[in-house]
Amino acid sequence: MAKANVKPATGKLGIMVVGLGAVSTTFMTGVMMARKGLAKPVGSMTQYDKIRIGKGENKKYLHYKDIVSMPTLDDIVFAAWDVYPANAYESAINAEVLKEKDIEPVKDELLKIKPLKAAFDKNYAKRLDGDNVKQCKDRWDMTEQVREDIRNFKKETGVDRVVVLWAASTEIYVEPDMQYHDTIAHLEQAMKDNVVDKIAPSMCYAYAALKEDCPFIMGAPNTTVDIPAMWELSEQTKVPIAGKDFKTGQTLVKSGFAPIIGTRMLGLNGWFSTNILGNRDGLVLDEPANFRTKEVSKLSTLESILVADEQPDLYSNYYHKVRINYYPPRNDNKEGWDNIDIFGWMGYPMQIKINFLCRDSILAAPLCLDLCLLMDLAHRAGRYGTQRFLSFFLKSPMHDYTQNEIPVNHLFQQYVMLKNAIREMGGYEADEEID
Ligand SMILES: NC(=O)c1ccc[n+]([C@@H]2O[C@H](COP(=O)([O-])OP(=O)(O)OC[C@H]3O[C@@H](n4cnc5c(N)ncnc54)[C@H](O)[C@@H]3O)[C@@H](O)[C@H]2O)c1
């Protein structure tokens, strides 16, 4: 066994989730059902994947937990915030993602998860009107109240460590503004001056988490921790951040499929992606300002995989469009269509159609688990700043755009980054050998 570079995962791990909707309740219910041996955590890398360690004759394939110290599912304790007062059981039933038979066996545990009052501002999600909301003097007070929630949760449950995961609605787009978002000092001042259109509630959660020594994960496309002030705070507090936007359905397909076109040196004229979905997420995204946040996130995927500068003949002029349509009858069962106009030898056009009939929260739940466990791992390993090795799970991986750093969107390159980070934290050498 190599010498690991991480503190052991002793005691309990608290997972505080912002938002107690479809994704979070599917995540929590799945973890609870798996602990009882009544369901399998399918899709979770931390529970299933094996990484090759060593080369040649010495190579072996190990689960993550056999390479680095990881918490078990039994170690997890949940809490949540939400704008609506429904507990996790009611919310799981309302979400209509899981069948009752898959919820009832853990009903008692779910009933106990009652959402803390949300740090919320209706201007950031106009379609939500719940009243389980904190009364805040200003944004600074909002962060103080969230910090108190985290401290209380630690005290009441005795958890050893806490990770904060944003699985709440997508907020309206907040363009990074270097007057407010460039340094910690400016960010704090803007919170104290209550500059409400620059300080999203999600920033108050993130700020509070980092100050309370809790890694923060942004599962929606919000720009929350994707600003220099939060990068600085993450460095200063030595607490890792990750984001943004869970890579679940269409973008997962895109980041796995685009490499087929790119590695075969085929050309691209256009890629049109459209979706229908009818859950509350879809309802919020029906608002143009909220959709804008999602669109920016979804559009970023292709450009770093099929790069015009590298292959001008093939990729200099493609049209990339993404649409999301709110369509209630489908609820959480999203349907995505991709129409891909490619061209081949001598420029002859061809088309590829992909029709993915997926389940949004079923795809997102294992990502929640993996991101929480791996962020806790990163923290124990003394890592901080943006955790790029988690790009594998994210639609719009954070990167230092002020330095023109290019994000890695290519699914298989992201997988190499993930494996190598685990290897390194386990005290093994990173490598790029083909498994
Ligand atoms: N499911 C997927 O495939 C997927 C993929 C990528 C990203 N996401 C993102 O994950 C998030 C959750 O999706 P969902 O389907 O569970 O949505 P949902 O609408 O079912 O749940 C979100 C919950 O967040 C709550 N909320 C909103 N603002 C809040 C705040 N400031 N504080 C506390 N709670 C707040 C809402 O009341 C709601 O109950 C969305 O932002 C979505 O865009 C989902």
- The helix/strand/coil state of 161 is strand
Q: How far is the CA of 323 from the centre of ligand 1 (A)?
A: 18
Q: Are residues 48 and 140 in the same domain?
A: yes
Q: Are residues 154 and 233 in the same domain?
A: yes
The domain boundary, picked from 324, 357, 390, lies at 357
The reported pLDDT for the residue numbered 184 is: 97
Q: Are residues 367 and 395 in the same domain?
A: yes
Q: Are residues 290 and 384 in the same domain?
A: no
Q: Are 29 and 106 in contact (CB under 8 A)?
A: yes
**Could you list the residue range(s) of the whole structural domain that residue 134 is in?**
13-246+361-425
Return phi, psi of residue 35, to 5°: -60, -30
The reported pLDDT for the residue numbered 35 is: 98
The reported pLDDT for the residue numbered 237 is: 98
Residues 270 and 215: their CA atoms lie apart, in Å, by 38
Q: Are residues 147 and 45 in the same domain?
A: yes
In this structure, what CATH number is given to the domain that contains residue 159?
A: 3.40.50.720
Ligand 1 atom nearest 363 alpha carbon? 3
Which residue, among 51, 48, 47, has the nearest Cα to 72 in the 3D structure?
A: 47
With respect to residue 432, please indicate whether it lies within any of the assigned structural domains: no
Q: Are 418 and 45 in contact (CB under 8 A)?
A: yes
Q: Are residues 352 and 373 in the same domain?
A: no
Residues 133 and 113: their CA atoms lie apart, in Å, by 16
With respect to residue 56, please indicate whether it lies within any of the assigned structural domains: yes
10 Å Cβ neighbour count for 131? 10
The reported pLDDT for the residue numbered 3 is: 62
Which two structure tokens, joined as six digits, stand for 278? 């009818």
Q: How far is the CA of 21 from the centre of ligand 1 (A)?
A: 6
Q: Are residues 145 and 34 in the same domain?
A: yes
Which two structure tokens, joined as six digits, stand for 110? 């779910």
With respect to residue 8, please indicate whether it lies within any of the assigned structural domains: no
The reported pLDDT for the residue numbered 292 is: 76
Q: How far is the CA of 316 from the centre of ligand 1 (A)?
A: 36
Q: Out of 281, 286, 294, 301, give the residue to mutate to test ligand 1, the one with the largest number of ligand atoms within 8 Å of its CB.
A: 281
Q: Does ligand 1 come within 6 angstroms of the Cβ of 116?
A: no
Q: Are residues 242 and 254 in the same domain?
A: no
Q: Are residues 78 and 114 in the same domain?
A: yes
Q: Which residues contact 260 (CB under 8 A, 6 or more apart)?
A: none
Plot region of 24 (φ>0 → left; ψ -120 to 50 → alpha; else → beta): alpha
Tokens 């009882």 found at: 36
Strands (E), 182-315: 216-218, 240-243, 267-277
The reported pLDDT for the residue numbered 432 is: 77
Number of separate domains in the chain: 2
In terms of Cβ atoms closer than 10 Å to its own Cβ (0-12, 13-18, 19+), residue 319 is exposed
Q: How far is the CA of 23 from the centre of ligand 1 (A)?
A: 7
Q: Are residues 283 and 400 in the same domain?
A: no
Q: Does ligand 1 come within 6 angstroms of the Cβ of 208?
A: no
Q: Are residues 31 and 164 in the same domain?
A: yes
Q: Does ligand 1 come within 6 angstroms of the Cβ of 119?
A: yes
In terms of Cβ atoms closer than 10 Å to its own Cβ (0-12, 13-18, 19+), residue 206 is buried
Q: Which residues contact 263 (CB under 8 A, 6 or more apart)?
A: none
Instruction: Give CA separation, 350 vs 266, 322, 341, 343, in Å.
Output: 10, 20, 6, 6
In the chain (435 residues long), the average pLDDT of successive 10-residue segments reads 78 98 97 98 97 88 96 98 98 96 98 98 90 96 98 98 97 92 97 97 98 98 95 98 93 92 96 88 78 71 89 94 89 91 97 94 97 98 97 93 86 93 92 76
Continuous segment of H or E residues that includes residue 421: helix 411-425
Q: Does ligand 1 come within 6 angstroms of the Cβ of 280?
A: yes
Q: Are residues 63 and 95 in the same domain?
A: yes
With respect to residue 435, please indicate whether it lies within any of the assigned structural domains: no
Instruction: Give CA separation, 42 vs 30, 51, 173, 199, 365, in Å.
Output: 10, 17, 33, 37, 10
The domain boundary, picked from 357, 391, 414, lies at 357
Q: Out of 87, 117, 122, 169, give the residue to mutate to test ligand 1, the one with the largest number of ligand atoms within 8 Å of its CB.
A: 169
Q: Does ligand 1 come within 6 angstroms of the Cβ of 220?
A: yes
Q: Which residues contact 372 (CB under 8 A, 6 or more apart)?
A: 13, 15, 76, 163, 165, 217
pTM reported for the whole predicted model: 0.94
The reported pLDDT for the residue numbered 427 is: 92
Q: Does ligand 1 come within 6 angstroms of the Cβ of 281?
A: yes
The domain boundary, picked from 357, 374, 389, lies at 357
Q: How far is the CA of 101 from the centre of ligand 1 (A)?
A: 24
With respect to residue 6, please indicate whether it lies within any of the assigned structural domains: no
Q: Does ligand 1 come within 6 angstroms of the Cβ of 21?
A: yes
With respect to residue 4, please indicate whether it lies within any of the assigned structural domains: no
In this structure, what CATH number is given to the domain that contains residue 342?
A: 3.30.360.10
Q: Does ligand 1 come within 6 angstroms of the Cβ of 125?
A: yes
Q: Are 265 and 311 in contact (CB under 8 A)?
A: yes
Q: Does ligand 1 come within 6 angstroms of the Cβ of 79?
A: no
